[in-house]
Amino acid sequence: MTARRARSLIAACLLACAAPCALAVECIVPAKPGGGMDAACKMLRKVLKEEGTQEAVKLSYLPGGIGAVAWSSVVSQRRGGPNTLVTFSGGSLLNLAQGKYGKAATGDVRWVAGVGIDYGMVAVRSDAPWRSLRELLQAIRKDPATTTVGLSGTVGSQDWLKMAMLAGRAGIEPRQFRFVALEGGGDSFAALQAGHVQVISGDASEAAHFIAEGRVRILAVLSEQRLPGPLHDVPTAREQGYDVVWPIIRGFYMSPHAPEADYRRWVEIFDRVMADPAFDRQRSAGGLYPFAMTGKALSDYVAQTVAQYRKQSQELGLVR
């Protein structure tokens, strides 16, 4: 073998080995398929593809503890690296505030980008007897045991709090309503369709394609005003006499062990992507509403939000 040919073979081998490492991006979904977190990673994959970047995004599902398993994995270095992103939501921040991730603190990970805002909603099957939020809450008040609510997490979770706040404003003791704890929005909608629960407390983005198929009826969205797009005909809880608003940030964080240069690279990628009008279309298609924040600004926002959630949880007696 000539020296020139040997060098060519070595170069080819190096390129073959390096390409997967350079191009493979892992987006970890801390829930089962089908929910809002799943949709966030899928949106990232579409956006990067449309932007013409080199990154090919692989989705990895790591459910457990409403995000706790994924958090622990990247903090402990069992998972994660310079090209691994983990999607998070407002529910993740609430769990941090309530100590459900153990002794975790917001500074334990690198907050990369907040890419959109979602809102809470309450849904029933399309053949359910309730046509409005008021009718549903009146039925629960009359006999809490006859109506089961499906939600992600247990007492104190984001979905539980949304329903508890509505119940409280309807004169129902929040801890009286009957619920089933599920793992993510995908499980909630599956349980609703199967008839295991009669109501679900979830997120508007998760409901958009179900309502388009005529499989569910959204009784209320927990936004300041009606939402544009497929849910434009759904009244807010406020319109129906229940002053409850629940915005939900969605975004991405990465391992604290990722090099600073790689963290900065991802912040710059999101800054560039979110400045492109094409991103607005993808965000809207995913059922999300405008919100764009990266780097230190996002880290500060997350810290302030977690502190606010902790104060609210203390007032409700959920944490000390």
Can you name the residues that pair with 249 across neighbouring β-strands?
A: 117
- Between CA 199 and CA 135 the distance in angstroms is 12
pLDDT score at 28: 96
Coil/strand/helix, residue 25: strand
Judge whether residue 180 has pLDDT over 80: yes
More confident residue, 54 or 46: 46
Q: Show Cβ contacts of residue 83 under 8 Å, excluding neighbours closer than 6 positions.
A: 21, 24, 25, 26, 55, 262
Local structure of 49: helix, strand or coil: helix
Mean pLDDT on 55-65: 88
Give the largest Cα separation in the chain, rounded: 88
For the chain, what is the mean pLDDT?
A: 87
Amino acid in position 305: T
Backbone torsions φ then ψ of 145, nearest 5 degrees? -75, -15
Enumerate residues 6+ apart whose C-beta is below 8 A from 161: 94, 246, 316
30 phi/psi in degrees, rounded to 5: -80, 40
Rounded Cα gap, residues 107 and 101, in angstroms: 13
How far is Cα 176 from Cα 63, in angstroms, rounded to an integer? 28
What mean pLDDT comes out for the span 25-48?
89
Note the pLDDT tens digit of each residue in 221-251: 999 999 988 889 999 999 999 999 998 899 9
pLDDT in the model for residue 286: 77
CA-based angle 44:45:48, to the nearest 5? 80
Mean pLDDT over 179-195 rounds to 88
- Please report the DSSP string for 301-316 in residue order: HHHHHHHHHHHHHHHT
317 Cβ contact list (under 8 Å, min separation 6): none
Domains of the chain: 18-118+248-315 (3.40.190.150), 119-240 (3.40.190.10)
pLDDT of residue 108: 96
Q: Give the dihedral sign, CA 291/74/39/188.
A: negative
Question: What's the pTM?
Answer: 0.75
Q: For 91-113, how does the pLDDT look when each residue is reduced to its tens digit (9 = 90+)?
A: 899 989 999 898 899 999 999 99
Give the model's confidence band at 23: pLDDT under 50 very low, under 70 low, under 90 confident, else very high: low
pLDDT digits (tens, 9 = 90+) for 133-167: 999 999 999 999 899 999 987 888 889 999 999 99
Beta-carbon contacts of 30 under 8 Å, excluding residues fewer than 6 positions away, are: 37, 62, 63, 64, 66, 67, 69, 70, 71, 86, 87, 88, 92
Tell me which range, 19-23, 239-243, 273-277, is most confidently predicted by mean pLDDT. 239-243
Confidence of residue 304 (pLDDT cuts 50, 70, 90): very high
The 3 state secondary structure assigned to 140-183 is: HHHCHHHCEEEEECCCCCHHHHHHHHHHHHCCCCHHHCEEEEEC
Whether 6 shows a pLDDT value over 50: the answer reads no
Percentage of the residues of the chain whose pLDDT score is greater than 70: 91
Convert the pLDDT of each residue in 191-213 to its tens digit: 999 999 999 999 888 887 787 78
Q: Which residues contact 56 (CB under 8 A, 6 or more apart)?
A: 23, 24, 25
